[in-house]
Structure 1
Amino acid sequence: MEMRRLIPDPFIIALLSAVGLAVFLPARAGFAGIVDEITTAAIVLLFFLHGVHLPRQAVMSSLVHWRLHSAILAATFVIFPLLGLALSKLLGPLLPAPLWLGVLFLCVLPSTVQSSIAFTSIAKGNIPGAVAAATLSNLAGIVLTPLLASLLLKSQGPGFSLSSVSKIFSELLLPFIVGQVMRIWLAEWATRRKKLLSLTDRSTILLAVYSAFSGVIVSGMLHGLAWSTLGSLIAICALLLALILLITLFGSRSLGFDRADEIAIVFCGSKKTLASGIPMARVLFAGPTLGAVVVPLMLFHQLQLMVCAWLSRRYARSTAASAAAPPTAFAKV
């Protein structure tokens, strides 16, 4: 048993392998486009399968779960920016101003969608609630992120693109709705193939890691940074992630949420989107500043995937142990 504890989680190994592959063999030019198309297809398939797999009553009840949505939105658009401001005041000398702009910018971004839901699924949390809350976060972020960025960063001409709304609908909501409709015919098929959903969850995350880190390597965004500055930036991103995970974890418990909702709050409330963050950065920033601003987001994105991959598996093991224990037993993460 002790030896098993020393063996790294296979999914963590797979994530590190995806990063290593991106470092030594990044997706470039035409191949990058192919990887992007495959990742998009995987996301569409993932949301279709979630739509097929989830009972309609559970989905409808999640839409009116206002306490869950309020908690996630508060973590994303209130607590995160306040943490970023506090760290910038306390640790200001550790980073140059453009990198602090990047840290503050990532703090006002909406949550991820696909990885939040995938990790919630792996951890056996409230998947319908995560679907609704993460999607709501992205829709709200289209307006709130430029406004908050304008307040925090004093940038000029904030705005957003309506194409983001179209992408969220076409790649996330529409496949989920189609899956819900097709559930009439495919419910029994989905019940027999739960492993397919789990495989799609993990594959989508691995593709997203490889695609995102390939972009970092090909663009050369990390080349101009001193090792000491890069180390400070990684430490600050890790501290920010640790703080928000602790706040969402213990905050959800203190507010009386059950375990499934706690999982959704932890994974949806602690994430920041890379897919929407880069286009938004191009709107709000220009010139050399853009490269420095997106580096913290790139690093934070990788950290959140690595840490949450471990945390989701820990939640899943804890849930399985609780189910196998006597009724009086109570397992914590």
Structure 2
Amino acid sequence: MEKKHYLMDVVLMRLVLITVLILYHAMCIHTGAWKPPIEGFQQIVVYDWIGMLPINFFLEAMVLISGSLLGYKLLLKPESLTFNICVVKKAKRLLLPCFLFSILYYIMFLDTNISLFCIVLHIVNGCGHLWFLPMIFWCFVITYLIAKFIPSRSELQSLLLVIFALMAIYNPLSSLPAGLGSVGNFLFYFYAGYLLKLGHLKLPIANSRNIIIATSTFFVMFLVYMIIRQEIHPTDIISKAAKMLSMNIAHMMMCITAIFTIYTTANKPCVIRYLTDRPQLITISGYCYGVYIYQQFILKLLYYRTPMLMLVNKWLLPWIAFVIALVVSLLLCHLTLRTRWGRYLIG
């Protein structure tokens, strides 16, 4: 029963997070994260706000899922704490697809006239959205080393969690290549998920009062974050550092409150029963890794390689692109997983 309970919460979180991921990327032409698709393109302010909403929690929540999966696996099978399972297999699972799809991404969307060294560096770092894969690989490696060589005493785990939280606010590793530069931003959430599933970290009671407080805090912090982002324009180094620090603290508070709300909702018995009775949703949740890889390719093609912008009303454009990317990504995953090499890459 515990295994089914755990799998069901992961199912819901994956379904929610992969949906908001595609929504965020569909709005990237309005948030400034992607370059304007055509000269003179007018960004829509409300879509900037809609696009910035999911980016302030969904990646961290996805990382927490990965950490909790590792913790749950080691809880069930402590003998799985081996270099082969925790490092070698994760390298095959994460780095191989990263490098193969990064080569394709680079050929399709990036400048091929630069030096070979720079091209290789881009690919190793993960092109486009694929940067996430080497980053999560290093989270597995670091957590494996901690579990293997550092005593699992509660005070040490708490100290590490505090250190990783401080790194999430100010990342001292940001200049490192091959995914290591992003580890500092996300290791806190990975390790928290790991401890959570081992039972070494407890969340507040998931009653209505706490969920309302968490949700309200998220939206207040989001408002603060957006005001700082749009209205404060520092000119000196100290003011710029203060702005960055303030935004990072607000971002962490949004991540923690959103994850609490999603995770506790996913663990409600009624939600678990609902998902248990709908195996098709469990199947779709298994596509999420492939959807993550495919969706940005589709959106980039729609925005930069088709006349879609000329044919669709600008207010409808991101919503239509969102639906197309979601449906086509699911279809591509279904077809890919029917092949042996596809199951090896994204299965």
Q: Normalised by the shorter chain, which TM-score bucket?
A: 0.3 to 0.5
The one of the two structures with greater contact order (alpha-carbon pairs below 8 A, sep at least 6) is 1
Who wins on radius of gyration, i.e. which is larger?
A: 2
TM-score, normalised relative to structure 2: 0.32
